[in-house]
């Protein structure tokens, strides 16, 4: 599923996991809002999430995912698998047009309505129409710089915003310090 309209990027490097997104909401080829927050913290601030797709659908997924996190005491992978299962089996949820990336201090996971629960091999993942631009930039920066995860996310989102018409330069980035519990 290719989501049009945003860029969400998550990077794990050294002692950080950073997840960021742009702030543009579009309708067709029109910018509706420039400062939407597509990134939020859940489960007592221990989990960071970013969404791409239809706003109402994404907020429905946030609510469902947060309920799964609470049900499984913050176990990210178990909550992600259960959300994907429910998303695929419930008739109403199957129509949702959104994707989310979720992360805690140890894991990064992308969840889609196709039943995908994907952990990236190389500690970087992106979704949305600008996702491939941000992903390419992040991979290059991970391999060729000493930047932190947060700085890689900032730089990569900026590059994506320069290329993708559905991505702007208003970024929200959340970072988890992996050394803290």
Q: Which residue from 143, 126, 149 is spatially nearest to 6, judged by alpha carbons? A: 126
167 catalytic residue (yes or no): no
Q: Which two tokens stand for residue 145?
A: 């710089």
CA 138 to chain centre: 14
Radius of gyration of the chain (CA): 15
Choice among 6, 7, 26, 49 that is catalytic: 6
Q: What is the DSSP string of 126-165?
A: EESTTHHHHHHHHHHHHHH----HHHHHHHHHHHHHHH-T
Q: Which two tokens stand for residue 1?
A: 């599923």
Residues making up the chain, counted from first to last: 181
DSSP state of 178: T
Q: What is the DSSP string of 53-97?
A: E-HHHHHHHHHHHHHHHHHTTT-HHHHHHHHHHHHHH-TTGGG--
Catalytic residues: 6
């Amino acid at each position: 599923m290719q989501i049009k309209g945003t860029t969400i990027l998550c990077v794990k490097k050294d002692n950080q996991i950073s997840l960021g997104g742009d702030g543009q909401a579009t309708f067709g080829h029109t910018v509706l809002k420039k400062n939407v927050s597509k990134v939020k913290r859940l489960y007592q601030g221990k989990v960071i999430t970013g969404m791409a797709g239809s706003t109402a659908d994404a907020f429905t997924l946030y609510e469902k995912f947060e309920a799964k996190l609470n049900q499984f005491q913050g176990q990210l992978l178990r909550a992600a698998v259960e959300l994907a299962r429910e998303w695929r089996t419930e008739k109403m949820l199957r129509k949702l047009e959104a994707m989310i990336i979720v992360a805690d201090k140890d894991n990064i996971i992308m969840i889609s309505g196709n039943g995908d629960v994907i952990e990236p091999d190389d500690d970087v993942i992106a979704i949305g129409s600008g996702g491939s631009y941000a992903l390419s930039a992040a991979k290059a920066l991970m391999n060729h710089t000493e930047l932190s995860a947060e700085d890689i996310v900032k730089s990569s989102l900026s590059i994506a915003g320069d290329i993708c018409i559905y991505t702007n330069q208003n970024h929200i980035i959340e970072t988890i310090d992996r050394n803290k519990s």
